[in-house]
Amino acid sequence: MTLVPRSLRAASAVAVLALALTACGSDDEPAADASGAAGYTVEHAMGTTELPGEPSRVVVLDSPHLDAAVALGVTPVGATEAEAGAGYPDYLGDLDGVETVGLTVEPSVEAVAQLEPDLIIGARVRHEELYADLSQIAPTVFSADSGTNWKEQVEIVGAALNRQDDAQALLDEFAQRAAAIGESVGAAGRTVSMVRFLPENFRLYGPDTFSGSILTEAGFDLGDHTWNEYSMAELSPEEFEQIDGDLVIHTSYGDPRTTTRPAVERLWTGLPAIAAGDVHEVEDDTWMLGIGVLGANLILDELEGIAGTEA
């Protein structure tokens, strides 16, 4: 399969979401968009936080929050990186002016403070021990999770920015697109194996993972597997027969040559989907790491082409 350049796919997703926000707009701008906006309260995973008005210097500590903020028209002053020197996902566009405040798994409280933010957004599952210190710097709002429950993370970022209606419009537009694309490619009754190759094993992704949730919302079935607490199945190359979907979508963590992909590909040639050519490689940084409503729409863009060729 020919991969669509990320810049083009990003433009498509941004255009779709811009239309969604335009459609939900009115002559009366929300309070958060007005100068001198009134204060508001946000309930979140760590309790309740009061904000005095519209934040203008936002720091985000996890990639789903960065995706949601950009989707809602807010460019943070600071954000974390998944790996040192990795920068931010290409699909989010030009974020050259966003300062790095450490790694997602280990943000620098000092770097956050130096940016003098008026709102900090993090995740309890990652940053709970930093909450007290961060709250001394600026009003701080935490989602409960990171990679799972991505829609709830869009909602919490929307609440933190006082743009709840815009956040809901983005989610509604995504749901409508997923249903329409699923219908157009005949998703009902079709099974998909969502595979990620890793250095020591490979994973099948279940319905509660980011990419899995998008596939199921479009109407696909992810098969009958024993999912772990993270809605994944961790498998060895010898268990390749569990890649049993009518359609196989796969990605690799890092260089595919250093993962189990070569070993599995030597074994899976007799599987029905492989023999039929219904197998497609996709980009890891979108399907696995592009967690958020922008990333979700990019997956829908690509899914339409992938599944549509088999419908």
CA-based nearest residue to 292, from 56, 57, 55, 121:
121
- Arithmetic mean of pLDDT, 235-239: 98
**Residue 269 in this model has a pLDDT that exceeds 60:** yes
Please tell me the CATH code under which domain 31-162 is placed: 3.40.50.1980
Q: What gap in Å lies between CA 132 and CA 120, rounded to an integer?
A: 12
Question: Cβ-count burial of 129 within 10 angstroms (0-12 exposed, 13-18 middle, 19+ buried)?
Answer: exposed
Confidence of residue 23 (pLDDT cuts 50, 70, 90): very low
Confidence of residue 17 (pLDDT cuts 50, 70, 90): low
User: What pLDDT, on the 0 to 100 scale, is given for residue 218?
Assistant: 98
> What are the residue ranges spanned by the domains of the chain?
31-162, 185-308
User: What pLDDT, on the 0 to 100 scale, is given for residue 33?
Assistant: 40
152-196 tens-digit pLDDT:
999 999 999 999 999 999 999 999 999 999 999 999 999 999 999
The per-residue pLDDT of the chain, averaged, comes to 90
From residue 222, alpha-carbon distances to 95, 191, 257, 276, 299 in Å are 35, 6, 26, 19, 16
Q: What gap in Å lies between CA 240 and CA 204, rounded to an integer?
A: 10
User: What pLDDT, on the 0 to 100 scale, is given for residue 60?
Assistant: 98
- Arithmetic mean of pLDDT, 196-218: 97
Q: Would you state the structure tokens that stand for residue 92, as one six-digit string?
A: 């989010």
Residue 180, C-beta contacts closer than 8 angstroms, at least 6 positions apart: none
Q: CA angle 157-162-287, nearest 5°? A: 25
Identical fold, 31-162 and 185-308: yes
CA-based nearest residue to 72, from 116, 43, 32:
32
SS3 at position 261 = helix
Q: Which fold has domain 185-308?
A: Rossmann fold (3.40.50)
- Arithmetic mean of pLDDT, 104-115: 97
Q: 0.95 exceeded by the pTM?
A: no
